[in-house]
């Protein structure tokens, strides 16, 4: 399942990027993320590993991740795995005058039994994720522009 999303934020990339790359700031706009830890920080950030806990509907899910790409103020990518799925998410920032176009691409691979469930309700799941992503990016925009 691939989801692509774009959002213009009326601030330059050097203001926006820390809100994506720094866990304490990212948790302020990623409302389902309730905690996490850096396991090992690597020079240049690529290969840095971490855990993250998300909560939704009273249930929590622990995920393990690694930074797969990092160019300060331009790009950060993650590979994240949990017991129900694994996904790659890539945030790219493009400067446009005094604003930033944030582009996000998410590629989700569901594990059994979710992979079977998504055969039947995949469109609903994709719409839910897209709506959550849209709300998160609206909050990111608000935080960056305040």
Query: What is the pLDDT, as a whole number, of residue 117?
Result: 87
**What distance in Å separates the CA atoms of residue 143 and residue 137, rounded to the nearest whole number?**
10
Helix (H) or strand (E) run with residue 15 in it:
helix 13-21
Q: How many helices (H) and strands (E) does the chain have?
A: 3, 7
Sequence ranges of the domains in the chain = 2-145
- Return the ∠ at Cα 67 (arms to 93 and 72), rounded to 5°: 35
**What distance in Å separates the CA atoms of residue 15 and residue 103, rounded to the nearest whole number?**
16
Record the pTM: 0.93
pLDDT tens for each residue of 12-31? 999 999 999 999 999 999 99
Return mean pLDDT, the chain: 96
2-145 CATH fold: Alpha-D-Glucose-1,6-Bisphosphate; Chain A, domain 4 (3.30.530)
pLDDT tens for each residue of 18-67? 999 999 999 999 999 999 999 999 999 999 999 999 999 899 999 999 99
C-alpha dihedral sign at 131, 139, 56, 46: positive
pLDDT tens for each residue of 131-145? 999 999 999 999 999
pLDDT tens for each residue of 79-111? 999 999 999 999 999 999 989 999 999 999 999
């Amino acid at each position: 399942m691939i989801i692509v999303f774009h959002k213009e934020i009326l601030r330059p990339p050097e203001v926006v990027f820390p809100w994506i790359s720094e866990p304490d700031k990212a948790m302020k706009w990623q409302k389902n993320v309730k905690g996490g830890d850096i396991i090992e920080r690597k020079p240049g950030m690529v290969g840095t590993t971490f855990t993250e806990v998300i909560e939704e509907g009273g249930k929590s899910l622990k995920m393990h991740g690694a930074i797969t790409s990092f160019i300060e103020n331009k790009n950060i990518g993650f590979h994240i795995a949990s017991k129900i799925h694994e996904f790659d998410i890539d945030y790219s920032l493009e400067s446009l005058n005094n604003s930033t176009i944030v582009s996000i691409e998410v590629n989700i691979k569901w594990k059994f039994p979710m992979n079977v469930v998504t055969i039947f309700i995949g469109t609903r799941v994709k719409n839910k994720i897209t709506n959550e992503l849209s709300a998160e990016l609206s909050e990111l925009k608000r935080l960056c522009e305040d």
